[in-house]
Structure 1
């Protein structure tokens, strides 16, 4: 079908309008079925938490993602585990051997000082495209609004391709409160003076995805999307769901 007036979507190798899925152990056969049908709607695949370390068919999975032009990378929890055990050199060497070209630098579980993260980013960006993450997985830990803005600016200035705003796979921490509602004051603050095209908002539920689509338009970057929700998300992006039905007037212009 190609006869409706729908919001313009970025296509191909997008620099924004990104959908980043979270892979928590999708079987290869099922993954290939999803990618065969929906790869045009997926840009990045995070092999979630530390699951990459115990995935028996990891190389096959990475190759499959790359076959369908989806960028694979490992979740920040694995990075933090390697940091704590002082195994970052072994970690980055393993990523290179696997053909993974992106790395996440986070501090969602471990409180890694900002200056230390910036130093790691400086080293890693020689060999990888770097994604950083801001925010804690601890529901009881609140960062001041000014600190969110300060960290994001420094991380982007250090050469990160994108900064992820923490939301967990449950959507109950970081930019969300414990019942899954968006901290709207925080989102308004960090989007006021920061290019939202450089932010990936973790939004694991359709309700959260719809908030960001209505707030920032069709081509907002969204992460921690479940692979079985990819088609629903694309439907939402194109104003083909009730909650985003009148999206057209908020559409961002394509370059």
Structure 2
């Protein structure tokens, strides 16, 4: 397998291979928290080959002009990066009865996908599945989120979380994003048993795990390998790619395994 780095510096140093984009698994989802054009250009110059999907996060897109948002989406597309709009402000659209209009506007602006979440809004499972079908009908790919912000207790019943994932997938969600809060963030210890329970029922390629700290990233890659899909911040993209390729925090055995 090509390691995808033949045109990079020091090509004679062998490291763990990765399939080139477009990848079907081992996706790096990068959170764009409202960065401007100059910062975006700097990021793409160093890391475009290692970002599969840009997540326009925290509802920051609601504060941008349509022109800026279109230009950013076009720039991502030019680098082979898909774009999806995270769920924060879209939950407000749901509460205001504007979901259909929101999905149509997102598609018109060039977004590839949207997140259907209920991290902050009160929403039934049936409502979320209806939104998944609604977004799919206008031609958007859907990433459904499981989890709650600022609450750890959503992980207490793995059976119910698994039921949610089943329902999201049946409704047409492409992948399910597992919220970090309550799993690896704002907890006394990382809930590895919960994550393993999810992967015991669902293929790891069908899930995206938020992993915003180095310990969580190391755990996911060490346990599931390079097929794991991770949602990280923009400054973590290169660190994660190095980890995936056996250079960062995995020891010399990762490097030796890549030689040949």
Normalising by the residue count of structure 2, what TM-score does the alignment of the two structures yield? Answer: 0.87
Which of 33, 36, 39 is matched with 2:45 structurally?
A: 36
Is the Cα–Cα contact under 8 Å of residues 46 and 75 in structure 1 kept in the other structure? yes
Q: How does 1:68-83 map to 2 (within 5 A)?
A: 68-83=79-94
Tell me what 1:124 maps to. Answer: 135
Tell me what 1:152 maps to. Answer: 165
Structure number, greater radius of gyration: 2
| Aligned positions, number | 245
Normalising by the residue count of structure 1, what TM-score does the alignment of the two structures yield? Answer: 0.89
Is the Cα–Cα contact under 8 Å of residues 247 and 254 in structure 2 kept in the other structure? no
- Is 1:45–2:57 an aligned residue pair? no
Tell me what 1:176 maps to. Answer: 184
Q: How does 1:172-211 map to 2 (within 5 A)?
A: 173-176=181-184, 178-179=186-187, 181-211=189-219
Match of 1:218, SS state, is helix
Is the Cα–Cα contact under 8 Å of residues 100 and 135 in structure 2 kept in the other structure? no
User: Could you say if the C-alpha distance between residues 116 and 227 of structure 1 is closer, same or farther in structure 2, counting changes exceeding 3 Å?
Assistant: same
Determine the C-alpha separation between the residues in 2 that align with 1:133 and 1:245.
36
Which of 217, 227, 238 is matched with 2:234 structurally?
A: 227
Is the Cα–Cα contact under 8 Å of residues 152 and 183 in structure 2 kept in the other structure? no
Deviations 1:12-38 (A, max 9, x none): 111111000111121211101211221
Tell me what 1:217 maps to. Answer: 225
Q: How does 1:106-145 map to 2 (within 5 A)?
A: 106-126=117-137, 127-143=139-155, 144-145=157-158
Is the Cα–Cα contact under 8 Å of residues 237 and 244 in structure 1 kept in the other structure? no
User: Could you say if the C-alpha distance between residues 94 and 214 of structure 1 is closer, same or farther in structure 2, counting changes exceeding 3 Å?
Assistant: same
Deviations 1:57-96 (A, max 9, x none): 2121111111111111111112111001111122112112
Q: Please report how far the alpha carbon of residue 149 of structure 1 lies from its aligned counterpart in structure 2 after TM superposition.
A: 1.3
Deviations 1:98-124 (A, max 9, x none): 011211111111121111111121222
